[in-house]
A and B are shown apart, each in its own frame.
Chain A
Amino acid sequence: MKKQVKEDRFQGHDYYNIDALLHDDHKIARDAVRSWVKQEVSPIIEAYSDKAECPVHLFKGLAEIGAFGPSLPEKYGGGGMDEIAYGIIMQELERGDSGIRSMASVQGSLVMYPIYKFGSEEQRMKYLPKLGSGEFIGCFGLTEPDHGSNPSGMVTNIKDDGDAYILNGAKMWITNSPVADIAVVWAKDESGVVRGLIVEKDMKGFSAPAIHGKWSLRASITGELIFEDVRVPKSNVLPGVSGMKGPLSCLSKARYGIAWGAIGAAMDCYDSALRYSQERSQFGRPIGQFQLTQKKLAEMITEITKAQLLVWRLGVLANEGNATPAQISMAKRNNVAMALDVAREARQIHGGMGITNEYPVMRHMMNLETVLTYEGTHDIHLLITGMDVTGLNAFS
């Protein structure tokens, strides 16, 4: 596909010198992923988004730089890094495109993580190195057509059949599903308990059609998972977990990455708007000299800086094993909404050019509409915070 001639001139923004709080390996990881994005993502992303096509070849590159499960132990194909490094990698990938970050966070947090956390040693050794190296692509099946914000109402189910379970049901909005080799699927057993299963693409009765017509995450492939009497060996059931805490712990991991990732998209929009405001002249002076433009830019960098501090602290808590799901919800909700606001303001600063793919802003803006909704909607996360501070459950 045609490469874009325009140079990616992005530079990072660190108004409060948060770099001083990072370790060398965090900064080196950030620079490495930023270089990779400039080399591999920026030149092609507009063309792939335009055609609504997934750059599947990037799975290999993401694996080579170590973007899949960077905080999992090296023995299982991970990078042995800490949670801040994982967050920074997600930030830099989403600086390129939310869809590329989604490819990596699904593979790492929603597929490799549950197999590592809840899988048997045999399952770990069978799947994790191949997922880490990009040989296998994975996807995660929780959301159903009629059960999005209420996943525990799922109807996908398994029935005992000797040495296997018979899986029936359907999952919706599944990132990577049409190109996936395996799916980590959550389904209810005969007593209504949620279990995790590893479903392989060649299993009879399993299909994963693509969903078309998205105006968001156009460079990421999304599909369904359809199970019609799929016979899944019992050895493919994740032995280490039962109940909703299985999928929810995966979501905490992925939401944590999104809280960081959204800052990447916001920084890219801010960076582009700041540069444009200095290069674009109207009424005989750069538009950055007008108070209303400065207000937009000043508020953008203020909100980005607050979000950076939020995830840094969340990262420290995560490294200590003390980040609560509610704290992660707050960061995901705040940072994604922040990024969407920044994208919209940046779009205005770019004027008419802001609606074209000459600049990354409108693509980020459209992507962030998905990010605002997936992995727990903006409103659901608010109610999680509400429940956490009041002790009262608004869901039931």
Chain B
Amino acid sequence: MLTMRGITKAYGDVRANRGIDFDVPAGRIIGLLGENGSGKTTLMNILFGMVPADAGTIVFRERVLARHTPRGAIAAGISMIHQHFMLVLAMTVTENVMLAWNDDGTWLHHHAVAGRIKEASDAYGLQLDPSALVGELSLGAQQRVEIVKAVLQGAVLLILDEPTSSLSPPEVSVLLGILRRLRNDGCSVVFISHKLSEVLELCDDVIVLRDGAVAGSRPVAGATREDLAYMMVGRELPPPVERSARAPGRELLLVSDLGARDAAGAPRVRGVSFSVREGEVFAIAGVDGNGQGELADIIAGARAPDTGRVFVEGQDVTAASVAERLAAGLAYIPADRASTGLVGVMTIAENLAMRDVGAPPHRRGWWLDRVATRALAETRMAEFGVRARGPEAFAATLSGGNQQKVVLARELGRAPRVVLAVQPTRGLDPGATRFVIEKILALREAGAAVLYVSTELDEILAVADRIAVMYGGRVVGIVRREDADLTRLGLMMAGALEETSSAALAYGLSTSEPAPRPGHRDVH
């Protein structure tokens, strides 16, 4: 169906695509794998007509595509579903589909379009109500709106960029089912993902890119995770990190009855209480947007709670400033690396100093000590293996993995007592993910208390001692890692199951000990 030959594209000195050949036969699901910066996105942007290739040919259904625009690609039968949906939240499903409508006419045929949405929805199991407001749908349902848009536009080749990153496990299996039905109807799918298990489950063939070139391709049948990982990174990945058995010590982080509302007054965090002990990783699982980010912001002091208290090593820090919390040993890796954790237009050295410019070594008297800041940056960059031109390079010029290393270097470099890590591996390739997990486990070894928020159950099982699930702003269940059952966790993440957990589990005690009360000494 699709033949791309010798696709080449350079951005300045970076050769993003180097003579890539890429084929998609009719009725197949192709997994496109590769580390960050390996050229997947560039290749798909070229196919979809968002950027022109420097060299190479594209033939799609016996027609040559050259100098085409996304509109031309859609007309030819190619649709792309981006990680961030292109939907108007204030409009209904039908209206969103009509926005993408390509037979021009004078009048809008609301009922006809709604009828076709219903038909397609029934045919592929999309479970969509044409008159629903898109903004009121879950992320999974919004993604299915994108799919119905593509189908009604007559797409025969569907490109999905990291489609499962914001879905709960049950939503993921619904999506995979839909894609299989599309394939059975003769459509082809390009499935871009970091998640090897999903690729193994869904795809027929897999193509792996490395450094802008094809590193290999093979049928998925008979392949293992290790095979795919090896193709991606070009070397054997060492076996999974060993977690030592470690008895948790005293309580370092305690939150009690935290609650917060957003600007519109809707509750985002509701009555959350738990504690994390010395040498323990407490993971919070949950689909994006169920209050985990707000919870972490509250603990870190970036947002004030409406109710509840936060204690670090017994000190009440609920009203403490960010600087005071840093001094108390609290580190925070926020979810949004691009605009919160880092500032692209500042240098690496400035980014490393960002949270404590007001304290030594960055400050000397009235002035910034730029020499000290730079020296510290060099040390941290070496320690965390940040690859960059130097400490004066702008953060925006770094790859995603290196950007996250800068954030880790800043937050973990000062040997924190309590670490809040929110989605620290999001968008990272397996090598970089492993690096993050190793650092987190090393902190656990060193006796830190870690609050680890993630949407990936695999990852949570690799690091956590206890696992809480958040849904709708509340903790709907807490289990010990050894009692974790993936199906039950998945159902809890989807809001279909709730378990009342004992206070002993919330505070990480063996059941024989009495649960503590948050009657800690207040220090102000």
Q: Do A and B bind each other?
A: no
Which of B's residues lie within 8 Å of A, judged by CB? none
